[in-house]
Structure 1
């Protein structure tokens, strides 16, 4: 499961997705760090036939459900299994309300276990283009400060039979990979 990825610079995101420039801190992201994600603006249905307008927001990498008492849950909700996302309490609301997003990435990092030891491996597109990772987003109000924080999670699928991804993660563990969207779909 993807717990570490490289976000693109704000300039690259603006150029690739046609969105307004934005502020971004670190580009090396782990659960709980703040990163960019893209979504359809509020009030625009996905089946609307107008041009596909997107907006970029920044939020916590790791989905924080509206009912959560604090943001610590983000350290456990950075990936959502596509097979169970509709049933899991942490993701159910975002899934049912079609709070889909695209997480722009330069690369993801996964442990390669072929040598018998975990070797962190950078996975990126061969052509250098950005990855568009399928995700869900949520909005959470911090009860201690009354501030609103956006958050997001990456959708994953089983990769046990994937020619490339089956080399990653511990040998006895299920193989998972993020859902990478085809460029023409966004």
Structure 2
């Protein structure tokens, strides 16, 4: 499970990797409740030169805030959604049903390595140096003052047998990892007409990841 990640924070790198313009207000170092970036299908095509008209970068809280939440504190518990239950769990099912899928651009994410008997924060990134496009879901929540607050959650899959990701978290815990999408799958994931998005929810090749302390 991922509660801490480095967002892509350079506009030129974001545009090159994801063909979107950098919005204002996102943090580079992101924890639950912090404002991060996510990419979705836009309601209206962006007009900026050099960006894809079918993608839009937004800012939102890391940790999904469902429409029925009384306040934003729920985001401390909803930053990761299990792919096995995302369609049925109350916190996530409306976003999934409505096809509100997104991509969360990240340079790296962190997991605790407990093999020494204590938690050692470990940075996990793509070995080719390219940003990650992490599969997510997003939604909007209306605050008491009428403001719409957007939020997102990363999707995870089981990683008990993953050669790299099985090394993280406590020994007795189930091993999980975020879904890192292939670049060729970005548009398919974002397309609400895709009737089989679950086929994209899978482990990422361990040979293409690197871990460092």
Q: What does 1:21-100 align with in structure 2 at a 5 Å threshold? A: 21-42=22-43, 53-100=54-101
Aligned-residue offset at 1:146? 1.1
In structure 1, distance between residues paired with 2:96 and 2:149:
18
Partner of 1:14: 15
Number of positions where the alignment pairs a residue of Structure 1 with one of Structure 2: 179
Single out whichever of 5-14 and 151-160 deviates more from structure 2: 5-14
8 A contact 1:111–1:169 mirrored in 2? yes
| CA deviation profile, 1:86-136 (whole Å, cap 9, x unmatched) | 111000100101100000000000001121211000000111100000000
In the TM superposition, what whole-angstrom CA distance separates every residue of 1:49-104 from its partner, at most 9, and x where no partner exists?
xx871000000000000111110000000000000111110001001011000000
* Contact preservation (8 Å) 2:26, 2:59: no
Please say if 1:112 is aligned against 2:113: yes
* Residues 9 and 24 in structure 1, CA contact (< 8 A), matched pair in contact too: no
TM-score, normalised via structure 1 length: 0.92
Distance (whole Å) between structure 2 residues aligned to residue 91 and residue 75 of structure 1: 14
Corresponding residue SS for 2:181: coil
- Asked whether the equivalents of residues 10 and 23 of structure 1 are also in contact (C-alpha less than 8 Å), the reply is no
SS at the partner of 1:42?
A: coil
Unaligned runs of 5+ in 2: 46-51, 187-213
- Residue 92 of structure 2: SS of its match in structure 1? helix
Counterpart residue number, 2:48: none
For normalisation by structure 2, the TM-score amounts to 0.81
* Superposed displacement of residue 14, structure 1: 2.2
- Alpha-carbon distance between aligned partners in 2 of 1:26 and 1:39, rounded to the nearest angstrom: 18
* TM alignment of 1:165-180, pairs within 5 A: 165-180=165-180
Secondary structure class of the residue paired with 1:16: helix
